[in-house]
Amino acid sequence: MNAKQQATSLFRKSAIAVAAALACAGAQAQTTTTYSFGTQLTGSLQPASSFASMSVTTSDNTSYLFDLQLTSDFGSLFNNANAFVGKVLFNTNGTDPISGSVALAPGTWGVSSIRYSSSSAQPGSIDFDFSETLGQGSNNRLTSGERVMWTTAFAQPTSFVAPEFALHVQSIGSNGDSGWYVPTSPIPEPETYALMLAGLGLLGFHARRRKRKEAAAA
């Protein structure tokens, strides 16, 4: 192998190594996905537009930060100024893996505590409840424009099965009905995939370069 061939081989190996490293770094980087809620699952009312958003942030699928916020017109969308969200259900497909603390994070308002339990609405799933926690009753309900942020540690890497999350809305309309609502398609944050795309792009460049060389040789 002459010097030019050695240099070409070294470049090829370096390109593949860098691409793999970038793709791996992207896979391990912190990711944030935002879910917009507005799709009726059960209940008597389909709101005219999205009424809540929740961002889910993790770097290892073990430690999570959840940020749930209701729109300012939440009450009017459900035809009742007293409408509230009492809990959010996580579909973990039959596991109950939380360990360590479940704690409110800075930025929360309208909710002063949170409770974790196995879901009665969906067996095999888990609930985060802030409607009746510690006997606080109506003082601890998420209403129009309010926001709750909390951190959770799972015993092992955990993902969620579609529909990943559902919100329990109560005091709907004049009859005080209740219902479950799920999100539309999640929206990944742009930086989530930046490093991974850079790595894949470099791999694509290497593949195109190799095809051009093969075509020239033919």
Residue 142 included in any domain: yes
The pTM of this model reads: 0.70
Residue 201 placed within a domain? no
- Could you tell me if residue 213 is inside a domain? no
Burial environment of residue 204 by CB neighbours within 10 A (0 to 12, 13 to 18, 19 or more): exposed
Q: Let me know if residue 1 belongs to a domain.
A: no
What is the structure's pLDDT at 218? 60
Look at residue 63 and tell me if it is in a domain. yes
Q: Please return the burial class of 165, using the count of CB atoms within 10 Å of its CB with bins 0-12, 13-18 and 19+.
A: buried
Per-residue pLDDT of the chain (218 residues; tens, 9 = 90+): 555 555 455 445 554 454 454 445 444 588 999 999 999 999 889 999 999 999 999 988 888 999 999 999 999 999 999 999 988 999 887 765 676 567 788 777 777 778 888 887 777 788 888 765 534 445 568 899 999 889 888 888 888 888 899 999 999 998 889 999 999 877 655 543 444 445 445 445 455 566 666 666 66
Q: Does residue 16 belong to any structural domain of this protein?
A: no
- Domain of 93, in residue numbers: 31-188
Counted domains in the chain: 1
What CATH number is given to the structural domain containing 100?
Answer: 2.60.40
